[in-house]
């Protein structure tokens, strides 16, 4: 009888250890996309030009003359980089999100180097792993290669996103 009881106790302990091991197993948490940042990580190159019109941090921008930049046109054929956040901008009360777009004439920091940036998906959305280009519906947003035939590549999507939502993009 003691052998049977001992066997049952050992079986229960083994089951508990198995449950505990499964609970401790590594889980893929995915890439975290901060809502209040444009640059996530990498070794970017920065250039500073003057806005020729309103630009929101995170927008796709293109050269507009020799010293100014503007938001990329829909289905844009030129791409310079990503507008960085404005360090001098006013933050919301909890200091987590930007409330300030660059106005015409303001100095804009543009991220041009090899890094990961936060982008917004165009109307068709963006799929993880796809090549990313300037959006068709909105030049400030991005589309993946399967939804358009824009000439210039921005980078590759590291996460997926539906229309209007943020995703991580490895900018080339």
C-alpha distances in Å from residue 33, one per residue of 120, 136, 165: 11, 23, 11
Q: What percent of the chain has pLDDT over 70?
A: 80
Q: Which of the two residues, 122 and 21, has the higher pLDDT score?
A: 122
Topology of domain 33-171, per CATH? Virus Head Decoration Protein; Chain: A, (2.40.300)
pLDDT at 157 over 90: yes
Mean pLDDT across the chain, nearest whole number?
Answer: 82
Band the pLDDT of 19: cuts 50, 70, 90.
Answer: confident
* Domain parsing of the chain, residue ranges: 33-171
Q: What pLDDT sits at residue 89?
A: 57
For residue 59, the SS3 value is coil
pTM value is 0.73
Query: Is a pLDDT exceeding 80 seen at residue 168?
Result: yes
Is residue 52's pLDDT more than 90? yes
- Between CA 164 and CA 168 the distance in angstroms is 13
State the maximum Cα–Cα separation within the chain, in Å, rounded to a whole number.
91
- DSSP letter assigned to residue 83: E
Within 10 angstroms of residue 146's Cβ, the number of other Cβ atoms is 10
Q: Average pLDDT of 43-59?
A: 89
Mean pLDDT on 44-60: 90
Q: Report the pLDDT value the prediction gives residue 137, as an integer from 0 to 100.
A: 82
> Tens digits of per-residue pLDDT, 31-40?
777 766 787 7
Element (H, E) at 9: helix 2-23
**Tokens describing residue 6:** 């001992």
Higher pLDDT, 68 or 91: 68
Classify each residue of 89-107 as buried b or exposed e, where b means 16 or more C-beta atoms within 10 Å of its C-beta: eeeeeeeeebeebbeeeee
**Taking residues 59-65, what's their average pLDDT?**
88
Q: Give the residue-averaged pLDDT of 118-143.
A: 89
């Amino acid at each position: 009888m003691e052998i049977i009881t001992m066997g049952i106790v050992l079986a229960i302990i083994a089951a508990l250890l198995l449950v505990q091991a499964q609970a401790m197993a590594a889980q893929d948490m995915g890439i975290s996309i901060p809502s209040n940042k444009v640059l996530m990580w990498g070794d970017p190159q920065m250039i500073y030009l003057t806005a020729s019109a309103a630009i929101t941090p995170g927008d796709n921008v293109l050269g507009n003359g020799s010293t100014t930049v503007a938001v990329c046109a829909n289905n844009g054929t030129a791409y310079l980089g990503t507008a960085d956040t404005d360090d001098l901008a006013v933050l919301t009360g909890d200091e987590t999100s930007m409330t300030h777009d660059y106005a015409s004439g303001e100095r804009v920091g543009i991220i041009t180097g090899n890094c990961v940036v936060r982008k917004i998906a165009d109307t068709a959305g963006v799929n993880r792993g796809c090549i990313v280009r300037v959006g068709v519906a909105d030049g400030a947003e991005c589309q993946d290669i399967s939804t358009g035939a824009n000439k210039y590549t921005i980078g590759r999507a590291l996460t997926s996103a539906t229309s209007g939502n943020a995703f991580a993009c490895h900018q080339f």
